[in-house]
Amino acid sequence: MDLFEHLARQLFEEHGILVPRAEVAARQILGVDIKGHTVRAVMKAQPVEIAVEFYVSYVLDRTAGCFLAIASAEGGMDIEDVAASRPEAVARLPIAPAEGATRAKAADIAAAAGLPPETADTLVRLWSVLVREDALLVEVNPLVRTAQG
């Protein structure tokens, strides 16, 4: 199931992941079809001063029979371009379903991707979203560090 961004934000908040305040606003693109979804409302988030953007996700790798953590310190909105032009800048680490993203595993993911060490806390919480919500994919693009830290 795909979630609308406002629903995903709500889930992240419920799992202790910081997200900027937002409100649903309706404006000019109401009724427009975007990839099979009709726009009924537009979410307006509180602006934040972004210092740096990262990319993080957990996805089920059916072929390998495990989950895959994908992360990059060069991520953000253009992660596909980074993965194509500099694949070494995107860390891909398998996660055994029975083990999960423990604090130690999250620290390994952060280190492999060149993310700040404190990102490990968010990685653990994102894993919690994946498990508790029975998801096959949890993605944050972009995960940001604000100017305030």
pLDDT at position 78 is 81
Q: Does 67 share its domain with 135? A: yes
Q: Does 24 share its domain with 95? A: no
Q: Does 55 share its domain with 40? A: no
pLDDT band at 56 (very low <50, low <70, confident <90, very high): very high
66 forms beta bridges with 61
The count of domains in the chain is: 2
pLDDT at position 147 is 86
- What separation in angstroms does the CA of 3 have from each of 74, 79, 133, 139, 147? 25, 20, 12, 11, 29
Q: Does 90 share its domain with 41? A: no
User: Per the confidence metrics, is the pTM higher than 0.85?
Assistant: no
pLDDT at position 59 is 97
Write the pLDDT tens digit of every residue in 80-103: 899 899 999 999 999 998 999 999
Q: Does 72 share its domain with 119? A: yes
Q: Does 62 share its domain with 35? A: no
Range of the domain at 119: 49-149
Q: Does 54 share its domain with 39? A: no
pLDDT at position 79 is 86
